[in-house]
Amino acid sequence: MKDYEKMTVKELVEELTSLGVSFNKKSRKAELIELLIAAAEGKSSQAADRPEDLEAAAKSEAVEKPVKEALSKKKSAAREKAGKEVAVDSGYAIIRTGGKQYQVSTGSLVRVEKIAGNVGDTVELKDVLAVFDGDVATIGQPTVAGAVVTARIVEQDKAKKVLVFKKKRRKGYRVKRGHRQMFTALEISGIIV
Instruction: Of 154, 151, 153, give the one whose Cα is nearest residue 192.
Output: 151
Q: Please give the pLDDT value at position 160.
A: 95
pLDDT digits (tens, 9 = 90+) for 67-92: 456 555 555 554 455 556 665 556 89
Cβ density class 78-103: b for 16+ within 10 Å, e for less: eeeeeeebbeeeebbbbbbbeeeebe
Q: How far apart are CA 88 and CA 165, in angstroms?
A: 45
Which tens digit of pLDDT belongs to each residue from 167-180?
999 999 999 999 99
Of 151, 35, 25, 40, residue with least CA distance to 95? 151
User: How are strands ordered across the β-sheet holding 182-192?
Assistant: 109-113, 182-192, 148-158, 122-125
Helix or strand holding residue 52 (H, E): helix 51-82
- pLDDT tier for residue 164 given thresholds of 50, 70 and 90: very high
Residue 84 DSSP class: P
